[in-house]
Amino acid sequence: EEAAEDEEKPTYSVATDNNYVPFEFIDQETDKLIGFDIDLINAIADEAGFDIEIEQMEFSGIVSAIPSGRFDIGIAGMTITEEREENIDFSQPYYDAGLILAVLDGNEEISSIDDVDGMTVATRVGSTSEDYLQENTDANVEAFPEITEAYRSVLTERTDAVLYDKPNVEYYAETEAGGELVTVGDLLQGEQYGIAFPKDSELRDEVDEAIDSLKESGKFDEIYTKWFGE
Ligand code: ARG
């Protein structure tokens, strides 16, 4: 009986990244893909009654693959921007983020974004942080293929600072960096994450409704607390 039910469920392809703590990353112990986005998309699929097949790829690849229709859904801590909205339909916002600057502990030269002109600032290629640095500062921007390389470049003093999404910087600072990486200055640009769909996808409304239900049932909060605390 259950097998018959399963067969009727549609399966949708989901594009995500695996290098973005705590939204999607590989668990060192189990080698499995875990994180807030992964729990959320699984809960949404359960709620809406579809199956998912997750494919891992590099973040900027997701931003370009979604418009082409190669995947039904993209979830990767992707900021909703006007530019992306030209080619991508987004779900309702599901996470409030924003950009924050971080430096090596003890750095006395940089205490805010106003101090980065002429300095080398690391970030991830194709991110809203890369755009922010190009548009708002005279820093030398070093955009790495993976954000962990950007963090390491600051820890090894190859670059002076890193700009990236606050939840990712904070999580990395507390875990991997063990106190060596510290955030400085204010949140620079408020951003909201949305789940991405090809333009005019009919799935978008279904996913939005599922998010509403998860919020009403308390399941959304449960997942949020699991990854971000109270
Ligand atoms: N929020 C930023 C953006 O949308 C960075 C997202 C990075 N996400 C990832 N899975 N690597 O550009």
Q: Which of 190, 205, 26 is nearest to 95 (CA)?
A: 190
Measure 40 CA to ligand 1 centroid, in angstroms: 16
Domain boundaries, the chain: 2-94+194-228, 97-190
The reply to whether ligand 1 has any atom less than 6 angstroms from the CB of 36 is: no
> How confident is residue 206, by pLDDT bands cut at 50, 70 and 90?
very high
Instruction: Give Dmax over CA atoms of the chain in angstroms.
Output: 66
Measure 150 CA to ligand 1 centroid, in angstroms: 14
The reply to whether ligand 1 has any atom less than 6 angstroms from the CB of 20 is: yes
Q: How far apart are CA 185 and CA 204, in angstroms?
A: 36
Residue 1 has pLDDT above 50, yes or no: no
Residue 55 has pLDDT above 90, yes or no: yes
Q: What is the mean pLDDT of residues 134-150?
A: 97
Mean pLDDT of the chain: 96
The reply to whether ligand 1 has any atom less than 6 angstroms from the CB of 77 is: yes
Q: 100-119 in b/e burial notation, b at 16+ Cβ within 10 A? A: bbbbbeebeebeebebbeeb
Residue 2 has pLDDT above 60, yes or no: no
In this predicted structure, what is the pLDDT of residue 6?
Answer: 57
Measure 213 CA to ligand 1 centroid, in angstroms: 26
Render pLDDT for 86-108 as a digit per residue (tens, 0 to 9): 999 999 999 999 999 999 999 99
The reply to whether ligand 1 has any atom less than 6 angstroms from the CB of 59 is: yes
The reply to whether ligand 1 has any atom less than 6 angstroms from the CB of 194 is: no
What ipTM, to 2 d.p.? 0.98
Q: What is the mean pLDDT of residues 38-44?
A: 98
For the domain 97-190, what is the CATH superfamily, name and number?
Answer: Periplasmic binding protein-like II (3.40.190.10)
Q: Do domains 2-94+194-228 and 97-190 have the same CATH topology?
A: yes
Q: What is the mean pLDDT of residues 73-77?
A: 98
Render pLDDT for 16-26 as a digit per residue (tens, 0 to 9): 999 999 999 99
In this predicted structure, what is the pLDDT of residue 3?
Answer: 57
The answer for residues whose C-beta is within 8 angstroms of residue 44's C-beta and 6 or more apart is 195, 207, 210, 211, 214
Looking at the structure, give the CATH architecture of the domain made up of residues 2-94+194-228: 3-Layer(aba) Sandwich (3.40)
